Structure 1
Amino acid sequence: MFVSTKIKKKEGFLNMKRIVSMLLLLTMLCLVACSDTEVITPDQTSATTAESTTSAQSTAATTTQASTTEMQNPFAERLELTYLVRFTHNYDADRWDELELEEKFNIDLNVWTIDAYNAEQCTMMAAAGDWADTGYINGYDPVRAYNEGLTRNISLEQIRTMLPEYYSILEGNPIGFKVNHIQDEPDHYYGLSFCYAQNNYWYHTNCFRLDWLENIGYPISDLTEVKITAESFQQASEDVVFLSNHVFPYEEFLDILRAFTEDDPDGNGVDDTFGAMWPLTGPSYGSHWTDLYTGMFGITSAYTTWLYYDETSDNYVPSYALPGWRDFLVFINEMLTKGYMNYMVDVSGGDYGGNFYSAILTGNYGHFPLDTWFNMNPGSPPRIEMGIPQGFLEKAPEAQFVVVPAIVGPEGKGGNKRYVDLPFRDGPWGTWTFGHTCTDEKLERALALLQYTHFNDEGFYRYY
């Protein structure tokens, strides 16, 4: 039985072998039939084999080369970058941050110890034909430097591909494409324009005494407490300053000014309070300190030369030719006549800030514009640092403050002057330049350094 079974298996194996052989033969015949009819000699066969081998090797080499290109280190070659910015005139070489960045970007960072804000030093530098590969030089005009051959241009494509975060800022604020643009060189720039968020901030914020609002029946529900940790602000660290998105309609605002004046909001039984101070010492066109009030009527009094579009005349006219200016004059005249607002008293010999804070710190006003740069800022000058809120608390320890959006006027308008008009700055105050010695290779490295230290969270918080 065992032998018989083995023979049958062997026969089956032989049959299978024959079938496989036939299939291979048929496959070869099909391949020959489908190929060219040219007869290949043994020599040609060798040549073809060699050619195929060479082709395969070439393909393999190309694939290997492509693979190598993808993995290539963009910073393989060590480059020297000369660097000049503000505050480097007292720079100590080989600081820890310099050494870290040199290693990361494979560069020798040569920081020049010139005062980049000193016009005389920068002029002497330019006279010698020198300009740093990359940096911010305030003491010499960047357009003049370019025209004198001291700096190079940078193309929009280089910005887009090498500094995409900055390019996205340009896309979000298209006017930036026009700033620092070289007029006769399309899509090329004198340098990178500084970008500021201050154009998003009002020059003055709209502030009320929160405790007074509650006392006269105007509570605010959506309050967010501001906790101040600065040591000099300890008195105002908690339960003093609040933010809110509440917007008072125009009629309510008028009633609030009345109630602050007539309804004894501080509860002392003395008629010594006012709705607000008109922050001028007498009749005047106004300033950015008055913009919160003129802004209710669509006018910023900080810019006396601006023209406004007038819908009634379909023309551009000065502010005093607008219906809004007439309505503002009616408003301010009524507030001053009724005593809901009063003029600022000159107690500081013409010093505007001294006059303003002297009046506010009496604790007698319920509404006031706050300069967003100085108030609640531990780095402010002493006079202002003792303003809102800590100086105020010396007079009224119970005071609470709430900052809300701009006042909205009768036509639904509101706002005031921004800290800067545009998010971009050019000229000596706002141009990051690249010297004539900055090759394209150096430019790529300089932009990589800039990207890491200014647009990357890791680099920004470590080196800022």
Structure 2
Amino acid sequence: MFKRLLCLVSLLVMLSMCFTLIGCSQSGEGSEEETGTGTSTKAQTTTKKPVVTTTTQVTTAEEVNPFKDFYEITWLTQLNADWREGRWDELELEERFNVDLQVWAEDGRNTERMAALVAAGDIPDYFYMPQAPMQPYKMYESGVTRSITLQQMKDWIPGYVESTARIPIGFSYNLVSGKDDEYIGFTHNNMGGCQFFYDATCINLDWLENVGYGIDESEMTPFKTTVSGYEQYDDNLWFAEGNFSFDDLNEIMKRFTEDDPDGNGVDDTFGAMYMVETQWTNMTQEGLFGFVHDLKYLYKDPVTGDIVPKYAYTPYKDYLAWVSDSITKGYMTTLAGKESWVLEYEQLTATNKVGIFSIVSDGYIYLNSTSYQVFPPQNIFLQEKFKDERFVIGPMFKGPDGKGVNMTYGIDPYGEGSYRVQLIGAQVDDGKLERICNILQYTTFSSQENYVRYNSGIEGVHFKWAGEPYKSNMIKTAVADLAEEYRGQLKVFSLFYTPSTVQQQIDNALKDGYWWFMPFMHYNGLFEKYALNPEKHLSEAYMGRELYAEYVDANATANQELNPIIADFKSRALSGQIANLNTEWSEYIDQLYANGLQKMVDDFYNNPSFVKYDPGEKFTMKD
């Protein structure tokens, strides 16, 4: 009995030990897999074989050096005739990217030198050559330069692709013929240019108050100069959205002309001045009728339904009628036409005898610049006798349909031709092109700090911040105060890319009070409100290279017949020689269509292959 009991106990102990061993083995296996230490230990139990333990070693892959291969890269840009070998930025980039950057001491704007280089076959690996003997497409077609694909851009310089995607028409600029994803070079991208109004409307604020149309000071924003020594003129300028109706405009012009607004007792003032339509006049003149001076802007006509240039756009008739009537009544004066219009404009505005006029939207910022001191309104209040005159700047008036528009300096940030493309020599293989892109990605898109460093220089050496870094203005160091090794053109190793500065302008104005026209417009939501979006825009990017080439030839032929008709009608309308403008307008339009406009409309303007204008993020990006 005792022996059987002893055997039973022994059996139970053995079974207990077996279960314990199995449990420990399973627990250990699960722990190894969950922690993921890189070593896997597994136990397998079968009825035929004992437990087998295996250990697998995982090795760490050796880090690959993306810049292992060494390259010599020749480099040419504009303004580098005085290049100093071994400058600080060259040395930094050579060390980082394992290259020898051979910057040519040349100026890409020197026509003779550039022609000599190309004729001799001396083509840099990477270059910007505004005065090249051939345009970029000809350079490519002649085998002087090579192309770069969109995929290569995505892989090697993603910042360029990302910035272009914000206004995607950029992907249609400078394409290789017949391709939609291959380019002849890098297209310039100047975001600031398409977020800027070149012109603005200016009114003599004292006159406005004197004739009963004053603006409450709470609705105006004061100007503050950044130019030391000119602070006394801060009270001379204000910004506002006038919201004066078209009837108000006509009444104000009348009172400025007839009611002696300057109080000198002499009938010698004018309500406004008419100037031939240019980029100076859009907001104050033609923009009141929904169009701008630029013939590349096309509009859908409310009567014919066709897409047409301004000279065949029905509101153009109403514009000419208004100008003619205002001149006839004496409410608008005109330039004499004996000297250049710019000189006569400067002279007339300096008399302070015109109440409403167009101005360069930022000219008054440069109060110490002799180039800008001749323009209004500063050419008035900088005179001792007019030092207290006040002016208000902004979108002041609405047109007859209650709206007003202006034209942005650039329709988009991009461009064509030798001044707008940076190129790559045909001798550059993909490996070297990738390294060039690596450098450009680093200097232009990798960070705000690097962008500033390789475009504006070293903080504390080339400039200092007026206030908070990257939000305030740069105070640049005079060249004479720079050590030799820090002198010279700074924008050498980066792409021509200018990001949006809208938020910086607003921050600078809100924090330090430095208001001028554009931050005022952006901050108050007026930029998008007044910027004109045409139905279509005449350019190769929107039409495609082949259709645009056909258009250029057809337009040159059509203009031989159309231009005399257009000029004659405008001249007679402005001089008051047309008794019934509506009747003559119909005859004028028929004449245009019969002499070439119909063909232009059918073949190009209404052509569905000519895509409509798309602003992208033009009105929302602020960076």
TM bracket, shorter-chain basis: 0.7 to 0.9
Residue 480 of structure 2 corresponds to none
Give the alignment of 1:356-375 within 5 angstroms: 356-372=345-361, 374=363
SS at match of 1:80: strand
Residue 534 of structure 2 corresponds to none
TM-score, normalized by length of structure 1?
Answer: 0.79
Change (3 A) 1:431 1:241: same
- Pick from 299, 322, 334: which aligns with 1:331? 322
Residue 391 of structure 1 corresponds to 379
- Pick from 423, 433, 437: which aligns with 1:447? 437
Give the alignment of 1:136-215 within 5 angstroms: 136-140=128-132, 141-196=135-190, 197-215=192-210
Give the alignment of 1:39-188 within 5 angstroms: 52-53=54-55, 56-57=56-57, 60-61=58-59, 64-65=60-61, 68-69=62-63, 72-140=64-132, 141-188=135-182
Change (3 A) 1:329 1:243: same
| Amino acid aligned to 1:436 | A
Give, in angstroms, the shift of residue 366 of structure 1: 1.8
1:353 matches 2:348:
no
Give, in angstroms, the shift of residue 194 of structure 1: 1.0
Q: Provide the C-alpha distance between the structure 2 equivalents of 1:224 and 1:447, rounded to a whole number of angstroms.
A: 45
Instruction: Name which structure has the greater RCO, CA cutoff 8 Å, separation 6+.
Output: 1
Greater mean alpha carbon deviation, residues 397-406 or residues 448-457:
448-457
Q: Provide the C-alpha distance between the structure 2 equivalents of 1:261 and 1:98, rounded to a whole number of angstroms.
A: 62
1:261 matches 2:265:
no
1:313 matches 2:308:
no
Q: Contact 2:79–2:107 at 8 Å: present in 1 too?
A: yes
SS at match of 1:89: coil
1:279 matches 2:275:
yes
Q: Contact 2:199–2:281 at 8 Å: present in 1 too?
A: no
Change (3 A) 1:321 1:153: closer
| Amino acid aligned to 1:157 | Q
1:224 matches 2:213:
no
Q: Where do 5+ consecutive residues of structure 2 fail to align?
A: 1-11, 30-41, 456-623
Deviations 1:79-122 (A, max 9, x none): 33221100112211112232233334343221012331223322
Q: Provide the C-alpha distance between the structure 1 equivalents of 2:83 and 2:189, rounded to a whole number of angstroms.
A: 26
Change (3 A) 1:184 1:317: closer
Give, in angstroms, the shift of residue 222 of structure 1: 3.2
What RMSD, in angstroms, separates the aligned Cα atoms of the two structures? 3.4
1:299 matches 2:291:
yes
Q: Provide the C-alpha distance between the structure 1 equivalents of 2:101 and 2:368, rounded to a whole number of angstroms.
A: 32
TM-score, normalized by length of structure 2?
Answer: 0.61
Give, in angstroms, the shift of residue 375 of structure 1: 5.1
Q: Contact 1:88–1:113 at 8 Å: present in 2 too?
A: yes
Q: Provide the C-alpha distance between the structure 1 equivalents of 2:87 and 2:143, rounded to a whole number of angstroms.
A: 32
| Amino acid aligned to 1:213 | L
Q: Contact 1:357–1:384 at 8 Å: present in 2 too?
A: no
Give, in angstroms, the shift of residue 353 of structure 1: 1.0
Give, in angstroms, the shift of residue 228 of structure 1: 1.8
Q: Percent identity?
A: 33
Q: Provide the C-alpha distance between the structure 1 equivalents of 2:437 and 2:102, rounded to a whole number of angstroms.
A: 16
| Amino acid aligned to 1:463 | Y
Q: Provide the C-alpha distance between the structure 2 equivalents of 1:132 and 1:301, rounded to a whole number of angstroms.
A: 40
Q: Contact 1:277–1:368 at 8 Å: present in 2 too?
A: yes
Give, in angstroms, the shift of residue 78 of structure 1: 4.2
Q: Contact 1:204–1:372 at 8 Å: present in 2 too?
A: yes
Q: Contact 2:172–2:180 at 8 Å: present in 1 too?
A: no
Q: Where do 5+ consecutive residues of structure 1 fail to align?
A: 1-14, 281-285
Q: Provide the C-alpha distance between the structure 1 equivalents of 2:450 and 2:131, rounded to a whole number of angstroms.
A: 27
| Amino acid aligned to 1:262 | E
Give, in angstroms, the shift of residue 188 of structure 1: 0.6
| Amino acid aligned to 1:121 | R
Change (3 A) 1:18 1:339: same
Count of aligned pairs: 422
Q: Provide the C-alpha distance between the structure 2 equivalents of 1:310 and 1:26, rounded to a whole number of angstroms.
A: 86
Give, in angstroms, the shift of residue 273 of structure 1: 2.3
Q: Provide the C-alpha distance between the structure 1 equivalents of 2:241 and 2:71, rounded to a whole number of angstroms.
A: 52
Q: Provide the C-alpha distance between the structure 2 equivalents of 1:183 and 1:81, rounded to a whole number of angstroms.
A: 28
1:408 matches 2:398:
yes
1:24 matches 2:12:
no
Q: Contact 1:247–1:404 at 8 Å: present in 2 too?
A: no
Q: Contact 2:335–2:341 at 8 Å: present in 1 too?
A: no
Q: Contact 1:229–1:237 at 8 Å: present in 2 too?
A: no
Change (3 A) 1:209 1:163: farther
